[in-house]
Amino acid sequence: MKTRILGRGLEVSAIGLGCMGMSQSYGVIPDKAAMIPVLRAAVDRGVTFFDTAEIYGPLVNEELVGEALEPVRDQVVIATKFGLRMENGEQLQDSHPEVIRRSVDGSLRRLRTDHIDLYYQHRVDPNVPIEDVAGTVKDLIAADKVRHFGMSEAGVQTIRRAHAVQPLTAVQSEYSLWWRRPEDELIQTLQELDIGFVPFSPLGKGFLTGAIDEKTTFTPNDFRNIVPRFSPEARKANQAVVDLVRSIAERKRATPAQVSLAWVLAQKPWIVPIPGSTKLSRIEENIGAAELELTDADMREIEAAASKIEIQGGRYPDALEARTGL
């Protein structure tokens, strides 16, 4: 597996693994005992970058990642997140310094480690100055509980303010061929500040794999049931982007997922996508994207075709979208 550098020195595999789906959001939750060998097999295949969060589960995803990776802890980079909690069934933002300090100790315990490699603020808390958040993480870095600071779904001005207090190593946000808002100003800002970019949902929550169409049904507890972009009408309209990557894939003897990931990787050398999966076969497929080279001509072809496709439907319900910092 090729590696890439996030920020000013965090080396990770060119493709990471998002672990959220092993504990929530995408239908039937797999058995924990089945996921431990999948995570360890990913390490065997060269993945060194694993993404989890306190809120995933909640809590149980960190426990899974901690148990699975404990035997290989010195070989991997673990990223987790603070700042979201559940209360009466509602997800709330809370990044008060005392909450961050409690959160890090809980995460360290569940992850079975003495340090967190990359600690993200999961969502910007409008009730806590970002300088206070960054300052608290700076203290945790000084205490060697945390090695690197990150933010997720933050706007560029907030990123600048945080970075002035404690330099950021990475910013995480959604980015793919069907969600390209980071191109408006985020990517340019990260390049200016020497901050790495970690796209989540680089396969469009599974849509860009080509395995989903307007006839696909999701289990009742699958998050995609409430996502406007996954309504049957939107899926039918958005099939054009899958047709695009499939046409490139056939020529490259690759899969639509590999072309979609290779497109993300080709944008900048400091971008590291974290596709999620619960299946080792899919992880192996995704890893293959790191070896797929898209030429300048391929990229121009994709851009020309994509510019004519208008993606239908929001990526989140309005209430959830409003909670992002973008």
CA-based nearest residue to 118, from 72, 75, 82? 82
Length of the chain in terms of residues written = 326
**CA separation, residue 48 to residues 15, 18, 302 (Å):** 8, 12, 30
Query: Residue 132 is which amino acid?
Result: D
Catalytic residues: 56
Beta-carbon count within 10 A of 316 CB: 16
Q: What is the dihedral of CA 58, 62, 63, 68, to 10 degrees?
A: 140
Conformational region of residue 88, where left means phi above 0, alpha means psi within -120 to 50, and beta covers everything else: left
Could you write out the DSSP letters of every residue in 194-237? T-EEEEE-TTGGGGGGT---TT----TT-GGGG-GGGSHHHHHH
Give CA–CA dist 252/294, Å, rounded: 9
Q: C-alpha angle with apex 67: 64 to 73, nearest 5 degrees?
A: 120
Measured CA to CA, the distance from residue 85 to residue 135 in angstroms comes to 21
Residue 197 near residue 170, CB atoms below 8 Å: yes
Which residue matches tokens 């894939």? 249
Can you tell me the distance from the alpha carbon of 98 to that of 139, in angstroms, rounded to the nearest whole number? 12
